[in-house]
């Protein structure tokens, strides 16, 4: 039985009637970490893994939602507001319901069934996959529509204003604009983007540290507040630079000398990471995987040392992968403070890499990491 008919059958059991099926993918981010919310550039690629939402309209103005992953059902009214946030998984669903209506959509009450194969809190963007698949499902059963960009922004708004995580646009954008086998370089200032093919001879391996990161938790929002402080500071000092990513190396060095040490390091990460995204995009376009790998190593070092969003377990995974033959580059990926690493490796060395990660990570931490060889997919949408 296909995945879609299997989901439809389970929905029939849950809701007693047939439903429409929407999907949205998780993502990896090749490079460009923690700079989407300071109007920087990012380079994500959407995965075949993702989240499905099956939906049918209800006659009343409630949304009833079954999460198969949580094994729980919740219900909330269609006119829900951020005041009702409960810090539970259902906030993401209620937040999207709220944000779509804020965007002017007339929604119907709904029964929803959610199933996902993106591990939660692993750095593969489980939240955005959930938000975007719920958005597509609610829109289709309400005969409403928004553009992919509007859907991405509604997902981000749900997370920022309802859930309380001040994330950028990268994850939702990847879920609504991904292209099979390609990475997209997004300019988060104006949402313009271009794509380049992922190398066919190499594989991307994700290793989950099993340390759960929660974007809504404090440190992520602290980084965002620090970057806003930097944006203000730069505007005051060099008014002609509207964005941090436009600073030259010399300008950044000069500005850093006037900043407290922590903010100076944050700025160094933002400026250097933006430069690495452009270099990585050029390397992808020309097929220079060696340079791409070097940029991954440099990104990790910058995230660890300057932006301070890594953790011991992520550093251990990076250190192990760095010593494995065939590895071109590796780094922590996503929000950090846990979650996963991303490693670029020559195809014949993939299984050895996974084995070495398992063996040495167990020795260092007592935990066995999940590893996943990336399969890439396209954008989210309504499937049936």
Residues engaged in binding ligand GAF (CB under 6 A): 33-34, 36-37, 125, 167-168, 170-171, 215, 334-335
Measured from the CB atom, the residue of 150 and 171 that comes closer to ligand GAF is 171
Measured from the CB atom, the residue of 43 and 78 that comes closer to ligand GAF is 43
Min CB(182)–ligand GAF separation in Å? 19
Min CB(17)–ligand GAF separation in Å? 35
Measured from the CB atom, the residue of 7 and 163 that comes closer to ligand GAF is 163
Tokens at residue 245, please?
A: 């990513």
Q: How far apart are CA 206 and CA 318, in angstroms?
A: 11
CA 199 to chain centre: 21
Min CB(37)–ligand GAF separation in Å? 6
Count of residues in the chain: 384
Measured from the CB atom, the residue of 219 and 279 that comes closer to ligand GAF is 219
Of 366, 100, 363, 16, nearest in space to 210 by CA: 366
Q: How far apart are CA 54 and CA 142, in angstroms?
A: 13
Name the DSSP class of 147: -
Which position among 36, 91, 111, 171 bears the catalytic label? Answer: 171
Measured from the CB atom, the residue of 38 and 142 that comes closer to ligand GAF is 38
Min CB(142)–ligand GAF separation in Å? 26
DSSP string, 17-40: S--EEEEEEEEEESS-TT-GGGT-
Q: Which residues of 13-46 are buried (b: 16+ CB within 10 A; e: fewer)?
A: ebbeeebbbbbbbbbbbbbbbbbbbbbbbbbbbb
Q: Could you confirm whether 187 is annotated as catalytic?
A: no
Q: How far apart are CA 95 and CA 89, in angstroms?
A: 10
Q: How far apart are CA 45 and CA 254, in angstroms?
A: 35
**Residue facing ligand GAF at closest CB distance:** 167
Q: Which helix (H) or strand (E) holds 341?
A: strand 340-346
Residue 340, judged by CB atoms within 10 A of its CB (0-12, 13-18, 19+), counts as buried
Measured from the CB atom, the residue of 36 and 74 that comes closer to ligand GAF is 36
Q: How far apart are CA 118 and CA 145, in angstroms?
A: 26
Min CB(70)–ligand GAF separation in Å? 20
Min CB(78)–ligand GAF separation in Å? 26
Q: Which residues are marked as active site?
A: 171
């Amino acid at each position: 039985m296909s995945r879609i008919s299997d989901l439809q059958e389970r929905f029939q059991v849950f809701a007693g009637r047939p439903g429409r099926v929407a999907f949205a993918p998780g993502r990896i981010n090749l490079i460009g970490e923690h700079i989407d919310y300071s109007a920087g550039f990012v380079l994500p690629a959407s995965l075949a893994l993702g989240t499905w939402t099956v939906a049918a309209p209800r006659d009343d103005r409630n949304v009833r939602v079954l999460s198969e992953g949580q094994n729980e059902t919740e219900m909330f009214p269609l006119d829900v507001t951020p005041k009702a946030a409960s810090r539970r998984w259902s906030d993401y669903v209620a937040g999207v319901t709220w944000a779509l209506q804020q965007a002017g959509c007339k929604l119907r009450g709904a029964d929803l069934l959610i199933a996902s194969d993106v591990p939660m809190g692993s750095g593969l963007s489980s939240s955005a996959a959930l938000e975007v698949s719920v958005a597509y499902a609610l829109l289709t059963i309400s005969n409403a529509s928004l553009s992919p960009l509007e859907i991405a922004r509604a997902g981000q708004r749900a997370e920022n204003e309802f859930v309380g995580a001040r994330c950028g646009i990268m994850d939702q954008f990847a879920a609504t604009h991904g292209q099979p086998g390609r990475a997209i370089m997004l300019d988060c200032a104006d949402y313009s983007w271009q794509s380049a093919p992922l190398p066919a001879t190499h594989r991307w391996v994700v290793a989950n540290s099993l340390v759960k990161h929660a974007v809504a938790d404090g440190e992520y929002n602290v980084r965002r507040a620090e970057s806003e402080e930097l944006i203000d500071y730069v505007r005051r000092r060099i008014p002609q630079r509207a964005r941090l990513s436009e600073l030259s190396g010399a300008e950044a060095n000069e500005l850093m000398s006037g900043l407290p040490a922590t903010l100076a390091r944050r700025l160094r990460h933002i400026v250097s990471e933006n430069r690495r995204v452009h270099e990585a995009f050029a390397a992808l376009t020309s097929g220079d995987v060696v340079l791409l790998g070097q940029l991954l190593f440099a990104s990790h070092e910058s995230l660890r040392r300057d932006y301070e969003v890594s953790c011991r377990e992520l550093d251990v995974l990076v250190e192990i992968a760095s010593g494995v033959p065939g590895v071109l580059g590796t780094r922590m990926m996503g929000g950090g403070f846990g979650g996963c690493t991303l490693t670029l490796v020559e195809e014949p060395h993939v299984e050895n890499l996974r084995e070495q990660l398992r063996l040495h990570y167990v020795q260092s931490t007592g935990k066995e990491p999940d590893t996943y060889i990336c399969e890439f997919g396209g954008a989210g949408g309504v499937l049936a």
